[in-house]
Amino acid sequence: MKALISIDYTNDFIADDGALTTGSVGQQIEPEILNITESFIKNNQFVVFAIDAHEPSDTYHPENSLFPPHNIVGTVGQQLFGNLQQIYQKQRNSANIYWINKRHYSAFCGTDLDLRLRERHITEIHLIGVCTDICILHTAVDAYNLGYKIVIHKNAVASF
């Protein structure tokens, strides 16, 4: 069994006015992000939206010294970018759609992602989103260390 993990494809990381935007590089992969996501949904496969989540009052988070405030929980900046938001809104109540607010680079760190995947007997994960050299990389390394087969969709990842 396989699952899709869509990482951080949010307004703050993709929109021109996003707080920590990848800009046009991130925007150019939107068609592939949408195609892959829709394919997994159509085939009734597990789709995880692993989304960076920060609290405005969390002064102790280590990212605060590295990056400007971004992906604040409940803001437009944390919403999915473009048409991916509409896909998520339409499908979010499906048993095969799962949203994770993640506080660290890896979608596995401090979340129940591994448990959710193993419950579904998933052995192969497909990664899409941003940023390739940060959250995609950390998630891939953790997935490898947990024994998952990893597929990174080259045309559906981007970075700064």
Per-domain boundaries in the chain: 2-158
Which residue in 99, 89, 110 sits closest to 47, CA to CA?
Answer: 99
| Range from 34-38, 54-58, 78-82, 102-106 carrying the lowest mean pLDDT | 54-58
Q: What is the pLDDT of residue 119?
A: 98
The whole-angstrom separation of Cα 140 and Cα 94 is 25
127: phi then psi, degrees, rounded to nearest 5: -110, 135
Q: How far apart are CA 113 and CA 123, in angstroms?
A: 13
Q: Which is it for the CA torsion 98, 41, 2, 13, positive or negative?
A: negative
Report the alpha-carbon angle 26-134-147, nearest 5: 115
Count the alpha carbons within 13 Å of 142 in the hemisphere toward its beta carbon: 18
Tens digit of each residue's pLDDT (9 = 90 or more) over 94-104 = 999 999 999 99
CATH number for the 2-158 domain, one of 3.40.50.850, 3.30.1280.10, 1.20.970.10, 3.30.230.10?
A: 3.40.50.850
Q: What is the pTM of this model?
A: 0.94
**What are the tens digits of pLDDT across the range 36-48?**
999 999 999 999 9
Across all residues in the chain, what is the average pLDDT?
95
**Residue 121: φ, ψ to 5°:** 60, 35
Angle at 13 between CA 8 and CA 17, to 5 degrees: 150
**Pick from 104, 100, 7, 5: which is nearest to 47 by CA?**
5
Residue 134 has pLDDT above 70, yes or no: yes
